[in-house]
Amino acid sequence: MFFAGVAVAGCFFLFIQARDKDSYFEISKNLDIFNSIFKELNTYYVDPIEPGSLMKQGIDQMLNNLDPYTNYITESDIEEYQFQTTGKYGGIGTTMRKKGDSIFVAEVYEFSPAYNAGLHPGDLILTIDDQSTKNKSISDISMLLKGSPGTQITMKVHDAYTGLESTKTITRGEIELSSVPFAGFVGSQKNIAYVKLTQFTPNCSRLVKASLDSLKKLNPKLGGVVLDLRNNPGGLLNEAVNICNLFVDRGQLIVSTKGKLKEWEQDFKTFQQPWDLEIPVTILINSSSASASEIVAGTLQDLDRGVVIGERSYGKGLVQTTRPLGYNARLKLTTAKYYTPSGRCIQALDYTHRNADGSVGEIPDSLKKEYATKNGRKVLSGGGVEPDVLVKNEQISTLAITLYFKNYFFDFATDYAKKHKEIAPAGTFSISDAEFSAFTKWLENKDYSYKTATEITLDTLKSVATREKYYAQIEDEFKELKDKLSHDKKQDLIKHKDEVSKRLENEIISRYYYIRGRIEHNLRYDPELDRATALIQSSNEYSSILKP
């Protein structure tokens, strides 16, 4: 029996060797063909070719057959990649907005070089280092603005407030966007700690802990914690472990990874003393909460350590590693899948089994496996993290979307800031009825026409009816229906007054209180936050959700 086992094992080993040999031959053969094609193109193609651009396109097409997180990062893209992973870059600290063929300052980061130089939203940028900004794209402008800290940049600017033109020389600095842009007290009694975490950058767990420490120092009798991970795309896995460690004990398994290679199979456990093991915790997520955000939400859910509130998360259960390629280029590739403590992987899309047209489908419900939390509650693999308490976000009206993309919120806020030196704090500021009326009057001569979803559907019906030769029979009824469904822009402003006011207020607030002001203002109209604070204040309901 022993010898038979050895014989079988030997045959299996030979099979593996043969399979690997065939695989290496295929790789070698195709690389040789690719190299030959490249040489032939370079030698005989009728027009000159750009080797770097051609190779980049070829690599990108090859990687398109895999998942969207496996990317080739060129030397010119490395700074953008580092900004995405660290939140740092060399520049002046602004975002830009394009209107027509002109470039305007959209946002200024507080205490940045641009802030210190007196730039503010609404300023028209005429030249950068003597280059005209006319007809340049936002990416072109971004390339001109970014550079090594300590280097200088010269900008010719038309000031939105004074109307004067001036030339500013700004020294670039290291711009670091805080991953915790706002923390404060929420709830009817203002005794619940709220922390907004925008990305899992290096040391973000220390920032979260520092914010919680500060709030606890101000109010030692904290009633709970709301951790806001909405629109957080993820980041560093070890920081997700450290965030969980704030609320769970040392030595607890947080996440496991499994890949093709043995080295990618790891268990990540907490190793520090927790911040608080008993305090009620709620975690806010939405469809844009991904990766490390889902590790935190899924793990605290698995351990019944917090209640997850909001919408189903994105569903990214894949781990990426960056590999050096030489010439300062890199390959970011998926090397493993991650699993929360219950054993589930929350990956929503199956990239290994594409449809005939190349598209990728979601993992069907029939293939989602059932797992159990620490207390025995049912959770499912695949499809992201399902919240314990579902709260749907309100739909943004077509009117508000149109006003935003037409830059009318932005332009009115610029005029407002020009006339008002200061405003009330972000947490209490609101525009008056008279100011809303001023906004509607300001819009009178401006084009913000749009079609409602109903009108678009009606146009589609007309197109189909005309093609199928039914329209002549229903033309009168169609016109009557269209008249009934037509909308009046002024009436729409009144109908959507609350929504339009909130968005206008938010744009105005950003001129005085920057990103933190935007966040604080939005919390006043946040149904998910309201549900989270109400749940913490109702200890019985909070406890009942965490029971099977």
- How many beta carbons lie within 10 A of that of residue 96, not counting itself? 17
Q: How far apart are the first and last CA of the chain?
A: 49
For residue 86, the model assigns a pLDDT of: 78
CA angle 340–345–347, rounded 5-degree value:
135
- Measured between alpha carbons, how far is 123 from 120 in angstroms, rounded to an integer? 6
Q: Three-state DSSP class for 520?
A: helix
Q: Which domains does the chain have, with CATH numbers?
A: 27-62 (no CATH), 88-176 (2.30.42.10), 182-318+337-393 (3.90.226.10), 398-450+488-530 (no CATH), 453-485 (no CATH)
Torsion over CA of 464, 469, 470 and 471, rounded to 10 degrees? 70
- Concatenate the DSSP letters of all residues of 103-142 into one string: EEEEEE-TTSHHHHTT--TT-EEEEETTEE-TT--HHHHH
Residue 444 backbone dihedrals phi, psi, to 5 degrees: -55, -45
Q: Are strands 124-128 and 102-108 parallel, antiparallel or unpaired?
A: antiparallel
Write the single-letter amino acid at 539: S
Of 406, 392, 403, 391, which is closest to residue 502 (Cα–Cα)?
A: 403
Q: Are strands 173-176 and 88-91 parallel, antiparallel or unpaired?
A: antiparallel
- Measured between alpha carbons, how far is 309 from 393 in angstroms, rounded to an integer? 12
Instruction: Find out whether 260 and 319 touch, Cβ atoms under 8 Å.
Output: no
- How many beta carbons lie within 10 A of that of residue 185, not counting itself? 15
- Measured between alpha carbons, how far is 252 from 239 in angstroms, rounded to an integer? 15
Instruction: Find out whether 291 and 233 touch, Cβ atoms under 8 Å.
Output: yes
Instruction: Find out whether 177 and 84 touch, Cβ atoms under 8 Å.
Output: no
Instruction: Find out whether 458 and 471 touch, Cβ atoms under 8 Å.
Output: no
Residue 457 backbone dihedrals phi, psi, to 5 degrees: -65, -40
Instruction: Find out whether 125 and 157 touch, Cβ atoms under 8 Å.
Output: yes
List, in sequence order, every residue forming a beta bridge with 173; answer none if it has no partner: 91
Element (DSSP H or E) covering residue 55: helix 51-63
In this structure, is the dihedral angle defined by the CA atoms of residues 468, 469, 472 and 474, taken in order, positive or negative? negative
Q: Are strands 192-196 and 224-228 parallel, antiparallel or unpaired?
A: parallel
Q: What is the pLDDT tens value at each position of the chain, 548 positions in all?
A: 434 333 434 444 444 454 555 677 888 888 888 889 888 988 898 998 888 888 888 888 989 889 899 999 888 787 778 777 777 889 999 999 999 999 999 999 999 999 999 999 999 999 999 999 999 999 899 989 998 899 999 999 999 999 999 999 999 999 988 999 999 999 989 999 999 999 999 999 999 999 999 999 999 999 999 999 999 999 999 999 999 999 999 999 999 999 988 888 999 999 999 999 999 999 999 999 999 999 999 999 999 999 999 999 999 999 999 999 888 889 999 999 999 999 999 998 888 777 776 677 777 777 789 999 999 999 999 889 999 999 988 889 989 999 999 999 999 999 999 999 999 999 999 999 999 999 999 998 888 887 777 888 888 988 998 999 888 888 888 888 887 777 677 788 999 999 999 999 999 999 999 999 999 999 999 999 999 999 999 999 999 999 98
